Chains A and B, each alone.
Chain A
């Protein structure tokens, strides 16, 4: 994964899916203009993170085609370390994911990938 976006610290895979630990750089471009008073990672940057990790997992291009549900439980700030769990997509290409912070859940949801994305 591109080192200047979400540097990868750890990764593993098992029959259920993939697990990653990444860092959100203090100077990530996703914080530019969001916001002056307090830097907060935009919600859509979490989708960018999931997309990049899923592409890394399957080794091919994958496109997000639907967001069944995404619950954002707290904002993410600069310098945080995130643990991301991705399930293997089911027959309908639906994938569950969870993003955790140091001791809490940041977000979780279910996404749908375009046909052709690996399982």
Chain B
């Protein structure tokens, strides 16, 4: 982990999720329209079966990365913004391959904004395990005023 990564807020301060639902572990890179994160699906997740996770769980990593980016963006306007509850409202054009991946392995999540009309935002995402892409597609999220 780089020094810059260490200085970034931790996902637990950016997301309303708690374990085992919180899959993000750290923020690697943040830009005006993109975020790169790392995470993993813990072995005690209800989605784990015999040590494997269905690839569609990668969509949740993308959603949490998008939520982290949203909170970081609000930090520019407010010093200590509370994480807000957000909902995924659509998932499109997602390719899942392989169909499963192992639980508790490091995953890299790359998310980029492709459009926004707040509180709706559309993101393109890609989730990888090592040099293998697990999932890629588009999600749209709706951020509520509810604090998590």
Contacts and interface: CB of A to CB of B under 8 A. Distances in A.
Contacts of A3: none
Given A32-B46, A37-B147, A42 B21 contact: yes
Contacts of A70: 90-92
Contact of B94 (A37, A66, A73, A114): A66
Interface stretch (B27-35, B57-65, B103-111): B57-65
B57 A36 contact: no
A30 to B, nearest CB: 5
A47 B54 contact: yes
B124 interface: no
Contact of B57 (A40, A44, A73): A44
Interface residues of A, number: 31
Contacts, number: 98
Interface stretch (B2-10, B68-76, B81-89): B81-89
B55 A34 contact: no
Interface residues of B, number: 34
Contact of A34 (B17, B89, B91): B17
B54 A51 contact: yes
B119 interface: no
Contacts of B147: 37
Given A37-B148, A43-B59, A71 B96 contact: no
B60 A43 contact: yes
B97 interface: yes
Contact of B22 (A33, A64, A72): A33
28 contacts: A32-B46, A33-B17, A35-B17, A36-B16, A37-B85, A37-B148, A38-B146, A40-B87, A43-B59, A43-B60, A43-B87, A44-B47, A44-B60, A47-B56, A47-B59, A63-B54, A64-B55, A65-B96, A66-B95, A67-B59, A67-B91, A67-B96, A68-B92, A69-B92, A72-B90, A72-B91, A73-B89, A114-B99
- Lowest 8 CB-CB distances: which A-B pairs, in order? A33-B21, A63-B99, A33-B18, A29-B46, A67-B94, A34-B21, A70-B91, A43-B88
Interface of B: 16-22, 46-47, 54-57, 59-60, 63, 85, 87-97, 99-100, 137, 146-148
